[in-house]
Structures are given as structure tokens and as C-alpha cells.
């Protein structure tokens, strides 16, 4: 895998899909709308589906562009089919999050994107001691992604956070700089 | 048992059924008892703070951090002498974290367990918005893990490299108690 400062490339485990990561821009708005309006995609996200192109543009401007570390997940044609981000929790912890358009589920794409980030993020952020992920207990697909990459399932945190008005149990996963990628 | 936080006098407000300990507001007049545990490096070992080195420092700390704390209670013996304290911190709108410290002379007698049980029994009535009471304990702090297990907290797992404590990155055990959980 070659890495430059902005683009991470890899061949995903599924033969037909090659993905790379790059910064998102406003010109990704129409591709963004494909996953952001999809209620299946947003089911375990804290946010509601996007309702208009204007709202999508506002979201990209206010949240995506200023984000400290967020990348579009792209196929060969450089079109964004989802995004992945690492958000600081504090000075030593970062939380990974990712979203993929439902048409692309089940192909190993999220797994490859998470693997790419877990492989590189500690070099980019040497102060990070822990990369963690919080996944809804019912979101089995996302739990499998993290397990396939090599994240450690630390336990179920009961009544941990409010998701769309409901208090949810969340599974906590972590990956350390010393851990091995699977 | 009522929990009353608006009195100027530190009256005894909560007693354990065995009448061994009670909880009340701390005051500046507790400073000498405070010094007993606050200067002890063994007590401070798993705390974020360094041992206290002077009475002036203790007075400043009590004034700035203890008296201003949104929910902190002295753990007192029958003669109203504080032997430690227990506190509740807000993590967010639905989660609170419990913490406690006890002078070393009183370790191993079940006092911390009683104090945690007392608070856990009452806190959800006092704060009905809480969905989850949690505690984070250093992996090496076996005594404190035992306290929570004896009260009936659920040990959810070890969170690796979770916090920096006195310059070292530590693994912490996460415990929780929900309003629906049974006290042991």
C-alpha cells in the first residue's frame, strides 16, 4: 500500500472493489446525498436523513469540511460512496466512525476503509494511544467490520448513549498502536 | 433516607442501616481529617491528584474544589469524623460517574462498600434523569473493583489505554449500575 499525505489506497478483500480515501469537498454533494438521505444508512447514526440538497451543502460546510480528520471512501472512479472519520475524544483517544451507501454494503468496503485508517492513523497522530469505536448492540454488520480488522471487543456499555430519543446499549471496541491488524 | 443539599449546617442526612457510617456535606472545619487521607501517597496512588503537602494547600483545595463540587459527601464515622469522601460527577445528560476515597486506616472494613451502596440506593431518586451510574477503576486497583462488585455493579470490560494517570497510560475497568439493577 502506498500512502501520501492525503490519499490512502488499497485493494479491498473483495476482488471487484478497489477503494481509496481522500478529503471530501463540496463537489461531492450529489454523491453525499445518495447515502445521507438513505434511512437504512442513518439507522444507527445520531443524525436524521438529509432532506434537501441545501441541507446537505450546509452539513458539508459546517461539519465535514472543518472536521479534523474525515475522508471520502472512493472507488476507482474517485466518486465518494461513503465517508470515514477519526474524531478526537481527548488528547490520547480518537473515535472512528464510518458510513457507506447501502448499495455497497456486504463487499468488504467498510472493512478495508477501517483497515486503511487503523494502519496509518497512529503515524499521522503519534500522540494517539487508543482508537476506539462505539457500535449499537443491534448493529451487527458494523461490529463484524471492526472484528475483521482486529479491533478488540471490550464489552457492552449499558444505557450508554441517546440515539434518536432512545437510550442504547453500545459495544465498545478499541485498537492500539501495538495491536496487530488482521 | 433523604438527601438534602441546601442546608448551611452539615447535618447528618444519610445513615447506613448498620449505623456504621453516614454521609454529609464537607466543611472547612474537616481540614485536619481531610489531611489524613489527602497526604497519603498510598491513598493517592490511583487518584488523579498528588498527595497534599501542607495545611494551606488543603484549605485551598477544599475551598476551590470540594465545597464547590456539585455533589460531594464526607463519609463519617459515628462521631461525625470524616474518614473519606464520595462524589458524583456528571459525564453527560444521562450518565454520572461515582468516585470515592477513604483513609488507609479504614480500608478493608467495608466502609467504602457501605458508602457506595448508600449513594447508589438513593441517587436515582435524587437525579431521575440518570440512566446510568458508572465507575472507572484502574486495572491494578483490586480493592476498589471489589467494592463495586459487592454493591452489585456490572463489570462491563477493560478499556485499554483509556486515560493518562500521572504520566502513564492506564487500562481502566468500566463498571455500571442502572436504575433497574438490584443492589446486593
Give pLDDT, residue B6.
Answer: 45
Judged by phi (left if over 0) then psi (alpha if -120 to 50, else beta), residue B96 lies in: beta
For A165, the closest chain B residue by CA position comes to: B94
For residue A10, pLDDT over 90 is answered with no
∠B2-B7-B11 over CA atoms, to 5°? 65
Instruction: Check CB contact under 8 Å for A155 and B161.
Output: no
| ipTM for the complex shown | 0.90
Q: How far apart are CA A112 and CA A121, in angstroms?
A: 14
Instruction: Check CB contact under 8 Å for A176 and B154.
Output: no
pLDDT (tens digit per residue) in A93-112 = 999 999 999 999 999 999 99
For B172, the closest chain A residue by CA position comes to: A154
Q: Specify the pTM.
A: 0.90
For residue A8, what pLDDT band results from cuts at 50, 70 and 90?
confident
Among residues of chain B, what percentage have pLDDT more than 90? 89
Q: For residue B166, which residues of chain A lie inside 8 Å, CB to CB?
A: none
B164 touches chain A (CB under 8 A): yes
Interface test with A, best of B139, B156, B163 (most A CBs within 10 A): B156
Instruction: Check CB contact under 8 Å for B178 and A91.
Output: no
For A175, the closest chain B residue by CA position comes to: B160
For residue B24, pLDDT over 80 is answered with yes
Instruction: Check CB contact under 8 Å for B162 and A172.
Output: no
Q: For residue A160, which residues of chain B lie inside 8 Å, CB to CB?
A: 95, 132
Among residues of chain A, what percentage have pLDDT more than 70? 92
Give pLDDT, residue A150.
Answer: 98
A91 touches chain B (CB under 8 A): yes
Which of A92, A159, A172 is closest, CB to CB, to B164?
Answer: A92
Looking at per-residue pLDDT, the higher value among B14 and B144 belongs to: B144
Instruction: Go through the domains of chain B in sequence order and give each one's CATH number.
Output: 12-130 (3.40.630.30)
Per-residue 3-state assignment (H helix, E strand, C coil) for B110-173? CHHHHHHHHHHHHHHHHCCCCCEEEEEEECCCHHHHHHHHHHCCEEEEEEEEEEEECCEEEEEE
Interface of A with B in 144-173 (CB under 8 A): 152, 154-162, 167, 172
pLDDT (tens digit per residue) in A162-180 = 999 999 999 999 999 999 9
Q: How far apart are CA B147 and CA B119, in angstroms?
A: 13
Give pLDDT, residue A6.
Answer: 67
B174 touches chain A (CB under 8 A): yes
Give pLDDT, residue A18.
Answer: 86
Q: For residue A135, which residues of chain B lie inside 8 Å, CB to CB?
A: none
For residue B157, pLDDT over 70 is answered with yes
For residue B17, what pLDDT band results from cuts at 50, 70 and 90?
low
For A162, the closest chain B residue by CA position comes to: B94
Give pLDDT, residue B87.
Answer: 98
Does domain A19-130 bear CATH number 3.30.1300.10?
Answer: no
For B181, the closest chain A residue by CA position comes to: A158
pLDDT (tens digit per residue) in B56-70 = 999 999 999 999 999
Output b/e per residue, A75-91; b: 16+ Cβ within 10 A.
beeeebbbbbbbeeeee
For residue B98, pLDDT over 90 is answered with yes
For A156, the closest chain B residue by CA position comes to: B156
Residues in CB range of A158: below 8 A, 6 or more apart: A169, B132, B154, B156, B176, B178
Instruction: Check CB contact under 8 Å for B161 and A158.
Output: no
Give pLDDT, residue B16.
Answer: 62
Determine the 3-state secondary structure of A81 from DSSP: strand
Give pLDDT, residue B7.
Answer: 44
Which of B92, B156, B163 is closest, CB to CB, to A156?
Answer: B156
Give pLDDT, residue B167.
Answer: 95
Amino acid at each position: 500500500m502506498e500512502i501520501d499525505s492525503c490519499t490512502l489506497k488499497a485493494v479491498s478483500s473483495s476482488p471487484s472493489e478497489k477503494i481509496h480515501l481522500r478529503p471530501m469537498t463540496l463537489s461531492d454533494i450529489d454523491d453525499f446525498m445518495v447515502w445521507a438521505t438513505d434511512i437504512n444508512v442513518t439507522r444507527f447514526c445520531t443524525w436524521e436523513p438529509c432532506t434537501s440538497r441545501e441541507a446537505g451543502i450546509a452539513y458539508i460546510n459546517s461539519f465535514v469540511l472543518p472536521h479534523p480528520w474525515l475522508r471520502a471512501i472512493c472507488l476507482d472512479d474517485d466518486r465518494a460512496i461513503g465517508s470515514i472519520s477519526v474524531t478526537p475524544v481527548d488528547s490520547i483517544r480518537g473515535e472512528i466512525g464510518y458510513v457507506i451507501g447501502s448499495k455497497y454494503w456486504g463487499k468488504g468496503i467498510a472493512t478495508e476503509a477501517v483497515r486503511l485508517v487503523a494502519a496509518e492513523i497512529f503515524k499521522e497522530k503519534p500522540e494517539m494511544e487508543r482508537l476506539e469505536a462505539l457500535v449499537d448492540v443491534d448493529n451487527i454488520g458494523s461490529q463484524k467490520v471492526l472484528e475483521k480488522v482486529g479491533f478488540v471487543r471490550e464489552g457492552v456499555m449499558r444505557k450508554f448513549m441517546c440515539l434518536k430519543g432512545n437510550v442504547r446499549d453500545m459495544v465498545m471496541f478499541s485498537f492500539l498502536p501495538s495491536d496487530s491488524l488482521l | 433516607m433523604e438527601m438534602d443539599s441546601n442546608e448551611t449546617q452539615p447535618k447528618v442526612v444519610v445513615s447506613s442501616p448498620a449505623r456504621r457510617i453516614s454521609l454529609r456535606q464537607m466543611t472547612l472545619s474537616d481540614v485536619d481529617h481531610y489531611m489524613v487521607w489527602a497526604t497519603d501517597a498510598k491513598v493517592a496512588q490511583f487518584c488523579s491528584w498528588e498527595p497534599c503537602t501542607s495545611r494551606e494547600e488543603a484549605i485551598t483545595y477544599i475551598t476551590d474544589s470540594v465545597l464547590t463540587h456539585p455533589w460531594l459527601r464526607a463519609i463519617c464515622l459515628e462521631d461525625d469524623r470524616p474518614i473519606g469522601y464520595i462524589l458524583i460527577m456528571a459525564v453527560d445528560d444521562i450518565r454520572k460517574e461515582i468516585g470515592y476515597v477513604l483513609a488507609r486506616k479504614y480500608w478493608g472494613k467495608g466502609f467504602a462498600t457501605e458508602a457506595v451502596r448508600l449513594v447508589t440506593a438513593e441517587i436515582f431518586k435524587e437525579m431521575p434523569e440518570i440512566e446510568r451510574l458508572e465507575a472507572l477503576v484502574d486495572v491494578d486497583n483490586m480493592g476498589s473493583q471489589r467494592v463495586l462488585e459487592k454493591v452489585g455493579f456490572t463489570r462491563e470490560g477493560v478499556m485499554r489505554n483509556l486515560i493518562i494517570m500521572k504520566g502513564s497510560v492506564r487500562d481502566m475497568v468500566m463498571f455500571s449500575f442502572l436504575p433497574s439493577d438490584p443492589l446486593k
